[in-house]
Amino acid sequence: MNLLKLRKAQGLECQKAVQAFLPGLTLCLVVGMAASFVSEHYGGPVILYALLMGMAFNYLSEDDRYSCGIQFSAKSVLRFGIALLGARITVEQLMSLGITPIVIVLVAVPATIGFGFFLGRRMKLGRCQSLLTGSSVGICGASAALAVAAVLPQDKDAEKNLIFTVICVTALSTVAMIAYPLIVTAFDLDEVASGVFLGATIHDVAQVVGAGYMMSDEIGDVATFTKLLRVSMLVPAVLIISLIVSRWGATEVGSKPKGFPLPGFLVAFIIIVTLNSGGFIVPELSSFMVETSRWCLVVAMVALGMKSSFKELAAMGWRPMILMVAETVFLAVLVLIFLQF
């Protein structure tokens, strides 16, 4: 009898939990669908639209009917989407690029993260913010920012820093998509070198694809594969950052990261990449996982937008923006130097 009562109580608790987060989750999904519609019909990055539309509904994050679901979308849905990113990558794709782009990526990614961290500290920005901006520019834009933010200490400025970083890196990536094809033409790079430059320097995958195939199919193929190589750096980068953060001890607000430093979503990401590389994931399932990942990230960005506002972002000042521009220029110059040899 007691066991029956316990099961009923657990069922009621589960039902209440679903009822608590379902309205907010549904709201984020609907806004995400609107962002996707605008992106498909009028162009532009869906991640940025999701953020901006979410910020327009910032007031709903204070509403008890939606706050739980918005919080669930910003964290749990986000991490699930990051794990599914592994379905886009195989070891065979990465190895087909040859040694040159591999060396460039292995040097440029940690160099950009390190440059961003030390320049950010010189500009008197926080350690977490400096790591976050350098990782987003060095690896894969908004996706990297979301993944790295998930393992950083959640201090009072964590969400605001993430929103600002995603907005800036998306805007810079869009500018790069237009400007960088002009740069490779000015430097008279061949098709392979052009593809490597675009894939190794533009932040987001969508803009890499757009810039590459805008020039030629071969450049687009090389750029896409090079970008996938950068995306694969997400695993070691997040692992190393999580290990470093776990040794910092107290954060800026006195909290301390707890538990094993390697998060579950990153373990899932590695497993999915391994399975995909071994051919254990059929193409139909892989396509479904990639599409599901895209929607999870869109929904999560809507939720993150709802938890911030333009007023809060404006209060951050000019220094974070200057830092991200400097990181972008540093990465482009570094890759161009490599390609000249």
Q: Which pLDDT score is estimated for 115?
A: 96
The pLDDT value given to residue 313:
59
Could you report how far apart the first and last alpha carbons of the chain are, in Å? 78
Query: What pLDDT was estimated at residue 99?
Result: 84
Confidence (pLDDT) at 12 = 43
Distance separating alpha carbons of residues 26 and 73, to the nearest angstrom: 10
Element (H, E) at 129: helix 127-138
- The reported pLDDT for the residue numbered 78 is 82
Backbone angles phi, psi at 124, to 5 degrees: 65, 35
Token pair belonging to 160:
């605001």
- pLDDT the model gives residue 44: 75
Listed residue (109, 217, 266) closest to 117, CA to CA: 109
What's the confidence (pLDDT) of residue 16?
54
Q: What is the pLDDT of residue 51?
A: 81
Nearest to 46, CA basis, from 166, 199, 152: 166
Which stretches of 43-98 are DSSP H helices? 46-56, 64-72, 78-84, 91-95
The pTM of the full predicted model, rounded to 2 decimals, is 0.70
The tokens for 104 are 């460039």
pLDDT for 5: 47
Residues 6+ apart with CB under 8 A from 89: 228, 231, 232, 273, 276, 277
Q: What is the pLDDT of residue 260?
A: 47
Q: What is the pLDDT of residues 82-100, one digit of tens each?
A: 788 788 777 776 676 678 8
Distance of alpha carbon 326 from alpha carbon 115, whole angstroms: 9
Burial 167-181 (b: 16+ CB within 10 A, else e): bbbbebbbebbeebb
Backbone angles phi, psi at 244, to 5 degrees: -65, -45
Which pLDDT score is estimated for 220?
A: 85
The predicted structure's pLDDT at residue 258: 47
pLDDT score of 88:
78
Dihedral of the alpha carbons of 155, 157, 161, 163, in degrees to the nearest 10: 100
Task: Please give the backbone phi and psi of residue 225, each rounded to the nearest 5 degrees, phi first.
Answer: -65, -40
Residues of the chain with pLDDT under 50: 3-12, 14, 250-261
